[in-house]
Amino acid sequence: MIAIYPGSFDPITLGHLDIIERGSQLFSQIIVAVLRNPNKTPLFSVQQRLEQIRQSTTHLDNVEVDAFEGLTVEYATRSKAKVLLRGLRAISDFEVELQMAHTNKTLSTEIETVFLATSNEYSFLSSSVVKEIARFGGSINHLVPPHVALDTYKCFTHNQTVSNPIRTDTTEVNPLNSSPSNREM
């Protein structure tokens, strides 16, 4: 049975990979489907995200990576999939995902949604959290595959000076040269 795991994956995280790996044990084929959403401004292009996911899933023989536009259930029908695979981190995810599952069911009675609870170590993790940490110079090495961390760091070079939002003066601080020994406390 073919399952579609749809999302923006901007970028793919270890939480996403956890769902993909576990789903690949449950279904004969998983299609990780990157949604082209014209209403969002992603950090990575669709092509970059496809490549990041392909590189992250080379160890999984039954995982395919693709991109699509439009309704997920229509893409699933075209792909001959019977299942939409979704990960759940918290109760708030469940409410949104259940509403989406019910909506999808009104569009296609042939497609079922299967939820996998995220592993505990990834219950807080989202692509937005990864981008926020990287934007401010924090380490994301424990949140995404190494090649994705490198790609993300390249997007946030931190070579410009930035204002420290905690400081009350207007002195600019370069985060790469900002350690307790060389900055005002």
> Could you please report the per-residue DSSP string of 98-140?
HHHHHHHHHH-TT-EEEEEEPPGGGTT--HHHHHHHHHTT---
Instruction: Please count the structural domains in the chain.
Output: 1
Catalytic residues: 16, 40, 89, 127
pLDDT, residue 169, reads: 44
Assess whether the previous peptide bond of 11 is cis (omega < 30° from 0).
yes
pTM: 0.81
Which residues are registered as beta bridge partners of 163?
172
pLDDT, tens digit, 9 for 90 and up, residues 69-97: 999 999 999 999 999 999 998 887 888 99
Cβ atoms of 70 and 104 within 8 Å: the answer is no
Higher pLDDT, 175 or 70: 70
Mean pLDDT of the region 101-107: 95
Contacts of 28 (CB under 8 A, 6+ apart): 1, 2, 62
pLDDT, residue 37, reads: 82
How long a stretch of residues is the chain? 185
Ranked by mean pLDDT, the top range of 24-28, 86-90, 163-167 is 24-28
Helices 146-155 and 46-56: crossing angle, nearest 10°?
Answer: 150
Residue 68 has pLDDT above 90, yes or no: yes
Average pLDDT value for the chain: 86
pLDDT, residue 38, reads: 81
CA-to-CA distance for 16 and 9, rounded, in angstroms? Answer: 8
Distances (CA, A) of 5 to 115, 153, 162, 184: 10, 26, 38, 48
Q: Does some domain include residue 159?
A: no
CA-to-CA distance for 153 and 158, rounded, in angstroms? Answer: 9
pLDDT, residue 82, reads: 97
Q: Does some domain include residue 114?
A: yes
pLDDT, residue 147, reads: 94
Q: Does some domain include residue 184?
A: no
Q: What's 49's domain CATH number?
A: 3.40.50.620
Confidence of residue 177 (pLDDT cuts 50, 70, 90): very low
User: Domain range for residue 105?
Assistant: 2-123
Higher pLDDT, 101 or 41: 101
Q: Does some domain include residue 80?
A: yes
pLDDT, residue 159, reads: 42
Mean pLDDT of the region 14-40: 94
Mean pLDDT of the region 114-139: 93
Q: Does some domain include residue 81?
A: yes
Q: Does some domain include residue 76?
A: yes
Q: Does some domain include residue 163?
A: no
Residue 116 has pLDDT above 80, yes or no: yes
Q: Does some domain include residue 92?
A: yes
Which residues are registered as beta bridge partners of 162?
173
**Six-digit token string for 72:** 């997920």
